[in-house]
Chain A
Amino acid sequence: MLSRVADSLFWMARYMERSDGILRMLKVNYNSSQDNLSDFSWQPVLKVFTYLDGPAIIELDNESSEVLRYMILDKENDNSVQNIVIHARENARSVQDNVTIEVWQCLNDFYHLIRDERHINSLAEGDAISVIDLMVKQCLVYYGTVDITMSRGSGYCFMSLGKFLERALQSIDILDVKLGSMSAEDTQAYDTLYWKYLLMSVSGYKLYLKNYQSGFEARNVVHQIVLNTHFPRSVIYSLDHLHRNFEQLSAYLDKASFDELNFEIGKLRSKVRYSTLNDIEAMGLHTYLADIKKDLSDISSKLNQYCFAYS
């Protein structure tokens, strides 16, 4: 496979994962912003998902519909969903011979949808949730289309690498910004709704209710988002799949590059797999997450260097 193609597939998948993550997270936060929670704030979201500086964030904080506009549609915001979808489509467009026509058309439709004036207007004046739902659905169509139409060759593996790398980073970010800097006493202070919305924003609320019957506790939330192998957005689940997909690439990479990267990914996977909640608490959640993030970014730059270098 051409290095440029591998690169584009990797990023196409990353961007799609990101747009899905942002949209879900926005929907839940928007919902919660309408709930008149005294401690609701857009600040954590704006801090993680935009490049805005402090004053700009404070200015936006109470303007829910302006936050949605900025994060979904703003052309000047590099990380707006619209720009992310444009990037995903451009990546797909340049590798159309390597994705199925269904995948391409799905991204093309998403692109036309998110630039459609009607939706842009109803996001501001109509029911914002319906518009976000429409977009989330487009992401679901993408996942399904990839799953049932793409052949399981190297292209699929590179897409999966992008998807799970991005997912791991997102879960880390969401958890870190909401919990990372809190002390144990702090966490006691929050009411049930806070935890509910945090879990919902990573689509993990239902699972939590089933698994952790003792009510809402910061420890359990951390466990689910970092260590629960059954939770498809947990860090460990993402790393397991990152590793599994990378192993499939052994035939498509030269041996030295493969071995080195395989070692790095495997090491990180084991590091998380064999940590306990006590380890994490001893180290401090923020430090622990920052360490994983650093490893992921090293892996990403090695992928770039060994697999995608073409210029």
Chain B
Amino acid sequence: MQHTNIFESYHIGEGTFDEMYQGKDVRTAYQGIFNFLKSNSPEDLTMKEELSKRLFMSQGITFTVYSSGEGIEKIFPFDIIPRIITADEWDFVERGIRQRLKALNLFLKDIYSHQFILKDGIVPTDIIYSCPHFIREMHGLKVPHDIYVHISGIDIIRGGDGTFYVLEDNLRTPSGVSYMIENREITKRIFPDVLRRNSVRSVTQYPTLLHKNLKSLSPRQVANPTVVLLTPGMFNSAYFEHTTLARLMGIELVEGRDLVVENHKVFMKTTYGLQQVDVIYRRVDDDFLDPLVFNKESVLGVAGIMSAYRKGNVAIVNAVGNGVADDKAIYTFVPDMIKYYLNEEPILSNVPTYHCADPEQLEHVFANISSMVIKKTNGSGGYDMLMGNSATEKEIEDYKKAVIKEPRQFIAQPIISLSTTPCYINGKLTPRRVDLRPFALFGPEGIEIVPGGLTRVALKEGSMVVNSSQGGGSKDTWVLA
């Protein structure tokens, strides 16, 4: 039986690249899922959608929202239709990310030691020293294997003609990888046999690769170094991810209060007494890591941990101070870094970016504000930004005032019309905008990128903001062999 009605209302926006359709034709990569969807009635698909929700709930893939003293479990919205990336596209993206990551890691090493890139005038000195994430305590601190960015999530988008752009680099504590793994598990349940028939590459090796890398960073030469995952605790919205990763790697999930520093060594408090910790995969931000060095009020971190780090008695993943390399103002210089450190042309392009601190560029931004998005350089989560095409006049005026007050804090980019993929919403397939966050692991043996990633999708009609805090959801991401 053929059911075609779910495709009826699929209209691709003008000047938008659609991942599934090329004009009236379905792209080859999507043919398999297209046929599968056609053979299912809308009722079947709705049941699959409900099953996916139930599975997330029952497996506790949730975050807790606390209101009036009571916790309510929420699921991160999941759209059942996968987002598909062809082998060629993936090859390109993967090469681009490797190159970019190599340069960014060299940049961090340079910026916290000799600062050649500043002396050679490639990156302006003031942009570094005015960055709140530039951590002076990191200067001259030797990190194992010179690796700073062990885990990164570089956000990729596609413009109107299908070109890949890097939207931003996440080099601190990027989250979402558990959804890459769990979304795939859900797909296995709701679309039996479909993955195999489409030769989708597996993502399950991620925890094993990460664990191997973490172990290899141990400062002590012991057979089984103690590796822990440091979480801010269960009130953190990514707590599910922390528990999942700890479980999949078989490492201890610790909180700040489980650790103590003695004689510049980090120990965890066990029933047997103190046990030395060698590697800490921390999901606590720099600011909260060590109340003796950073935020004095922090109870999430461990007093003295920076001194142990400085002495080389413990490895911290990711390195402290990475924020200086993924700041939105530094972003503009990444193509120059690639040329400077690697003597290569950048494979992945940046989105054109204007610095509001530069009066000429600011003038240009204000003149074209209706086609611009203005962001805070250290903002995240899709907050505090202005979408010039949809903001009211008052919002624009207020935002302009804020920009004029502290221009260093802002950058602007022309609004890129993100590519769309089909989503199953209210019984119909409807195009929604997506981005892609592949997760790259940088270990002593090189960079490995698991074929897949987190596809975030703006579930609100017409919205360009994919952040989960702003009505975004996610999709399973298929990379074809």
In the complex, chain B residues 193-225 whose Cβ is within 8 Å of any chain A Cβ: none
CB distance from B298 to the nearest CB of A (A): 16
Interface of B is mostly: mixed
Query: Is B258 in contact with A310, judged by CB distance below 8 angstroms?
Result: yes
- B272: A residues at CB distance < 8 A: 1, 252-254
Q: Per-position contact with A for B213-248: 1 when CB-CB < 8 Å, else 0?
A: 000000000000000000001100001000110110
* Complexed CA–CA distance, A154 and B270 (Å): 11
Query: Is A2 in contact with B258, judged by CB distance below 8 angstroms?
Result: yes
- B243: A residues at CB distance < 8 A: 93, 96-97
Query: Is B273 in contact with A97, judged by CB distance below 8 angstroms?
Result: no
Chain A residue at smallest Cβ distance from B248? A97
Pick the contact of A4: B73, B251, B258, B273 (CB < 8 A): B258
- The verdict on A4 contacting B60 (CB below 8 Å), with A75-B70, A90-B234 known, is no
Chain A residue at smallest Cβ distance from B58? A109
Pick the contact of A154: B58, B60, B247, B271 (CB < 8 A): B271
Please tell me the size bucket of the interface on B: 20 to 34
* Complexed CA–CA distance, A108 and B62 (Å): 11
Let me know if A112 is at the binding interface, CB within 8 A.
yes
Query: Is B58 in contact with A96, judged by CB distance below 8 angstroms?
Result: no
Please tell me the size bucket of the interface on A: 20 to 34
Pick the contact of A97: B59, B60, B252, B270 (CB < 8 A): B252
Let me know if A228 is at the binding interface, CB within 8 A.
no
* Complexed CA–CA distance, A267 and B244 (Å): 42
Q: Which residue, B60, B244, B271, B273, has most C-beta atoms of chain A within 10 A?
A: B271
- B327: A residues at CB distance < 8 A: none
Number of A-B contacts (CB under 8 A): 71
CB distance from A306 to the nearest CB of B (A): 8
Q: Per-position contact with A for B59-86: 1 when CB-CB < 8 Å, else 0?
A: 1100000000011010000000000000
Pick the contact of B58: A5, A93, A97, A105 (CB < 8 A): A105
- A134: B residues at CB distance < 8 A: none
Query: Is B60 in contact with A105, judged by CB distance below 8 angstroms?
Result: yes
Let me know if B316 is at the binding interface, CB within 8 A.
no
CB distance from B425 to the nearest CB of A (A): 25
- A249: B residues at CB distance < 8 A: 271
Query: Is B58 in contact with A253, judged by CB distance below 8 angstroms?
Result: no
Pick the contact of A1: B251, B253, B270 (CB < 8 A): B270
CB distance from B283 to the nearest CB of A (A): 14
- The verdict on A310 contacting B247 (CB below 8 Å), with A3-B269, A105-B58, A112-B58 known, is no
Let me know if A183 is at the binding interface, CB within 8 A.
no
- B251: A residues at CB distance < 8 A: 97
Q: Which residues of A are in contact with B by a Cβ distance under 8 Å? A: 1-6, 75, 86, 90, 93-97, 101, 104-105, 108-109, 112, 154, 249, 252-254, 307-311
Q: Which residues of B are in contact with A by a Cβ distance under 8 Å? A: 57-60, 70-71, 73, 233-234, 239, 243-244, 246-247, 250-255, 257-258, 268-273
